[in-house]
Structure 1
Amino acid sequence: MKWAGLYLVGFVILIGGVLAAFWKLGILASIGTAWTLIGVAIAFGIGIMIAISNSGSKENIEINRK
């Protein structure tokens, strides 16, 4: 689970950087608060789904019985 947590931290930093760039360019002012929050919620949802789907390795355990 630690890699999923690390991925989510990186994803939050990425989303923060994108939002800061949009704010600096004035794009957030033209979009509006509601649509910005909706976009952020969707981005976090996608980030969580990707982090969980890539966390851990799925392996079959084979037991040799004698």
Structure 2
Amino acid sequence: MNTMTIAHMAGVLTSAIQAADRLELDALKGPALADMDLDLVRDIKRDCSTCIGLLEQIGRERR
């Protein structure tokens, strides 16, 4: 896996976090999501952030 691939994967995960952020904000403005769904959105954001951190660590180790 080269650095560009790692950067691309991190970009995809960042986009997923941004989409989850929008869902979370919409849910907080109105009854768009149930509490359980909101927890799931937050879990997705946390998991994506963890993956980005791991990808960055792999990128540093490969240099």
TM superposition score normalised by structure 1: 0.46
The structure with more radius of gyration = 1
TM-score if structure 2 supplies the norm length? 0.48
